Amino acid sequence: QVQLVESGGGLVQAGGSLRLSCAASGRTFGSDAMGWFRQAPGKEREFVAAISWIDGSTYYADSVKGRFTISRDNARNTVYLQMNSLKPEDTAVYYCARRGNYYNPYHSPTAYDYWGQGTQVTVSS
């Protein structure tokens, strides 16, 4: 089984930065991908970013392009999400996940089979 644990969330002012970490255990690293999603109160979970284990390709939601960067550290079994120029609308619980369903696109939550517990990111204006 795979366990994913997010950390690094917190309270930051608009324009500030945070780096989220997702520590993985189990059979996380392979031929699939890891992704970050977020969910604000009263809203559906939405895709933020993903990174491929095969070729390192990265993918971003339009709302975070140019501001967020997803990366991985194989030695530490960790995936990161560097968030810069944060906006109040970025406020949400952020989740990391392992892609396990190859029939669904990377931006769909249904493409991922293991999820972390989430870490709260709050951006004040």
In this predicted structure, the answer to whether residue 117 has a pLDDT above a threshold of 80 is: yes
Count CA within 13 A, CB hemisphere, residue 119: 19
pLDDT digits (tens, 9 = 90+) for 41-88: 999 999 999 998 778 899 999 999 999 999 998 788 899 999 999 999
Output the pLDDT for position 55: 80
Output the pLDDT for position 2: 86
Name the phi and psi angles at 76, rounded to 5: -100, 0
Output the pLDDT for position 86: 98
Output the pLDDT for position 54: 75
> Cα angle vertex 73, ends 67, 79, to 5°?
50
Q: From the centroid of its chain, how far is CA 74?
A: 16
In this predicted structure, the answer to whether residue 29 has a pLDDT above a threshold of 90 is: no
Output the pLDDT for position 100: 86
